[in-house]
Chain A
Amino acid sequence: MVIKKIERSPTDEVFRRYARELIDSAEREILVIAGELGSYQFPDLKWAMRRACKRGVKIRIYASNPPQEVVNGLLAYGCEIYVGEEVKDHYLVVDSKSWVYSKPHRQVLGVREGEVHINELTKAKKVVALFDQLVSKAKEKKTRIKWDKDPLWAVLQNPPDWGVETDSTRLEELF
């Protein structure tokens, strides 16, 4: 059993490193208890989750307020998403034995802190039980993927005006 402290770091890189390592170690199942799934906005964690999906790891997520564009991607990758009441303490549990605990924090960069518990089965079971309890009262997101909520689709409906002309056939001249 190993317990590591996650200290604050300017871009949450310590949190991200531990979370990524844990996600990459998953063989069977990943459970997430979160709020707005803000961590999923970090590309390295998003990619780690996608890698896990691709190698057949079952991913189940409980979140209080997940943005639709994030839900789209998770549903497209076959994740289960449950939406329920807000919970302060956030967890990521891997294979019912190791987990990351993220203390309550504001939605700003550089404030994430918590703990990583590796191979701590007894406590991990308690977090899994908490997940099951939350899910039992939550609503599963089974809706069709709403691609019209995707940021790329949205911007294609109303593209920005850069204020200058560009010639996309001659971009190399810019470099």
Chain B
Amino acid sequence: MVFVDTNVFVAALNRRDKLHERDRDLLQKAFTTFKWLYTSDYIFNECLLVAWARTRNTTLIQQLDKVIQESEKIEILKVDEPCFSTAKSYLRKHPKLISTLTDWASLVLMRDHKISNVLSFDIHFDKVRSIPEFSAINRISDASQII
């Protein structure tokens, strides 16, 4: 099982991203390897927000919305009250380890759904392994890491 972070969607879906070619391979390999690609409603929102902030292009926003929302391969996990509360607690407890609520929410969702792999370029997901409940987190940033 694998969770997909915002930066992987952005890099794969913008051919002008610095890591586009490498990341496109990564997401294609993940698509064909894993039964589902999990992500969260927060990540979905971040993807659209990044695209809007950089382009102000409504057609692009609609296209990305359709791709992520209507793909039957992508399972969007929702941040509910307990998840939000737990993520906030981690953020307050370990602000130097990871400083965004979205990342903590991703980690809590991954923990709750027993997902250990995360597709991400964010090295903070490596550092979080120092916390016992997240010690199994395995960050994947290259297609060669997917067996």
Contact = CB atoms under 8 A, between A and B. Distances in A.
A166 interface: yes
B50 A43 contact: no
A54 to B, nearest CB: 11
B97 to A, nearest CB: 14
Given A69-B70, A171-B50, A174-B53, A164 B16 contact: yes
B146 interface: no
Contacts of B23: 168
B72 A70 contact: yes
Contacts of A152: 27, 31, 37, 67-68, 71, 73-74
B51 interface: yes
B33 to A, nearest CB: 12
A153 B73 contact: yes
A114 to B, nearest CB: 24
A165 B67 CA distance: 20
A160 interface: yes
A160 B66 CA distance: 13
B71 A169 contact: no
Interface of A: 41, 43, 47, 50, 69-70, 72-74, 76, 147, 150-153, 155-156, 159-169, 171-172, 174-175
A43 B54 contact: no
B60 A165 contact: no
Interface of B: 6-8, 10-20, 23-24, 27-28, 31-32, 35, 37, 46, 49-51, 53-55, 57, 60, 63-64, 66-76, 78, 100, 121
B7 A147 contact: no
Contact of B57 (A70, A150, A155, A162): A162
Chain A facing B: main interface SS: helix
B60 A162 contact: yes
A147 B31 CA distance: 9
11 contacts: A69-B72, A76-B72, A152-B73, A153-B71, A159-B12, A160-B13, A162-B14, A166-B14, A166-B54, A168-B23, A171-B10
Given A150-B73, A168-B10, A171-B10, A160 B19 contact: no
Given A150-B73, A171-B6, A171-B50, A162 B16 contact: yes
Given A150-B73, A156-B28, A156-B31, A162 B54 contact: yes
Nearest to A50: B75
Contact of B54 (A47, A72, A159, A174): A174
